[in-house]
Structure 1
Amino acid sequence: MTGSTIKDTPEEWEVRGSRTPFRGKKTSVRTDDVVMPDGSVVTRDYQVHPGSVAVLALDGEGRVLVIRQYRHPVREKLWEIPAGLLDVPGENPLHAAQRELYEEAHVKAEDWRVLTDVYTTPGGCDEAVRIFLARDLSEAAGERFEVEDEEADMELARVPVADLVRGVLAGELHNNCLVVGVLSLVAAERGDGLDALRPALAPWPARPFEA
């Protein structure tokens, strides 16, 4: 099988029944009765998620802007890249990413490209994340966004890409978007280059939007 034929494709198996046993503030849990290829019907539970964006912000010195934040489900403080939910259905993901970079780091960027698109845990959640590459950084104008809860304890740092790669491969950095984003950045640099990445408004079938 050649590389050009290896790609994910849309497919939807028949659902005989569906119910939502839990609804939270931003996400919910759905139970579907799915027809298998042999005709049997099995139950599949999964989290329904609005989708997210993340930003790998790369400065002129080859450093990535990262934040350290407490994550209660895993009981750890994780180094991450700025990220956030797509709060409004059909929201333009670029606008959401620009908002998150401003709110979490008080930074703006002039050059935006799509680094990669991922499903975080497709066996149990339908969350789709678009990871952007942001370059030509500068401090944002105006007052800083007022943070609360876990975000009030966040730390900011700028870390060389090589240090992040070492941390990922050593098992010291675990955040999905940071790991995928940093390794995708290195792959792009060693491949066709960062300028060959998709434009910031490239279509995103997993979360369609209006440009």
Structure 2
Amino acid sequence: MSDDERDARGTDGDDRDSADAADPLAWESLDAEVAYSCPGFDVRRERVRLPDGTETNYDYLAEPPSVVVLPFTPDGEVVVIEEWRQAVGRVNRGLPVGGTEPDDDDLSAAARRELREETGHEAEAVERLTTVEPANGVANSVLHFFVARGCTPTAQQDLDADESIRVATTTMADLREHVAADEVRDGRTTLGVLYYDAFGE
């Protein structure tokens, strides 16, 4: 694992920054349990002590870190997916995203795997873009963004049983326009496109 990837690696919520534990704003975790579990995520319940001494329960969603891939074909088009999202009842247009596995020491390899499984494309090169916590008030989710270049459809999709995905390509200009027009509702895709525009090549 590269130094960048080691620094960016997310946690499952159990390996928290010990330096922050001494901050006057910190909550003290007294006890924890899994209140609900299903494929993909848990809901964890912690008994916490607040800075004023109050004890209360705090529930949050816990899930493995994920990789988000911004894939470019050799001619500069972007590979996107169209996927049914039951929670919002519509087809979502966005970037390939997938959860990491416990033995994923190399996040760039995980990004390659998710790109291949969801789109059937394989990349010549993969580089880290950024890492974010998209909803750390209610979840311990961590998103690792990667840019994949030289992506060609040389493999077969290998979708999970609950994935309904159609693959397409578009230009970066069109994708940017769709983000600006609120036509891309997926937050991971919006963030990836805007971050790449601001800080990528």
Q: TM-score, normalised by structure 2?
A: 0.80
- Report whether the alignment pairs 1:145 with 2:157: yes
8 Å CA contact retained: 2:82, 2:167: yes
For residue 171 of structure 1, what is the aligned residue in structure 2? 182
Gaps of 5+ in 1: 1-8, 195-211
For residue 159 of structure 1, what is the aligned residue in structure 2? 170
Over 3 Å counting, the alpha-carbon distance change for 1:129 and 1:148 in structure 2 is closer
> What letter corresponds to residue 158 of structure 1 in structure 2?
T
After TM superposition, give the deviation of residue 78 of structure 1 in Å: 0.3
Distance 1:145 1:134 in 2: 17
- Report whether the alignment pairs 1:187 with 2:182: no
Over 3 Å counting, the alpha-carbon distance change for 1:145 and 1:48 in structure 2 is same
Judge which range, 32-41 or 104-113, deviates more: 32-41
8 Å CA contact retained: 2:125, 2:150: yes
Task: Give 1:46's match in structure 2, choosing from 60, 63, 78.
Answer: 60
SS at match of 1:108: coil
Distance 2:81 2:162 in 1: 12
Over 3 Å counting, the alpha-carbon distance change for 1:112 and 1:147 in structure 2 is closer
SS at match of 1:54: strand
Over 3 Å counting, the alpha-carbon distance change for 1:35 and 1:79 in structure 2 is same
8 Å CA contact retained: 2:131, 2:143: yes
Count of residues in Structure 1 that have an aligned counterpart in Structure 2: 179
Task: Give 1:75's match in structure 2, choosing from 67, 89, 93.
Answer: 89
Distance 2:182 2:41 in 1: 29
8 Å CA contact retained: 2:112, 2:126: no
Task: Give 2:131's match in structure 1, choosing from 108, 111, 117.
Answer: 117
After TM superposition, give the deviation of residue 114 of structure 1 in Å: 0.8
> What letter corresponds to residue 163 of structure 1 in structure 2?
D
Identity, % of aligned positions: 29
> What letter corresponds to residue 28 of structure 2 in structure 1?
E
For residue 21 of structure 1, what is the aligned residue in structure 2? 35
Q: TM-score, normalised by structure 1?
A: 0.77
Gaps of 5+ in 2: 1-15, 22-26
Over 3 Å counting, the alpha-carbon distance change for 1:132 and 1:90 in structure 2 is same
Deviation by residue 1:164-188 (Cα, 9 ceiling, x = unmatched):
1221122111112211111111112
For residue 115 of structure 2, what is the aligned residue in structure 1? 101
8 Å CA contact retained: 1:70, 1:150: no
Deviation by residue 1:53-111 (Cα, 9 ceiling, x = unmatched):
11100224332110000011111110121111112255422111111111111111122
Distance 1:89 1:35 in 2: 33
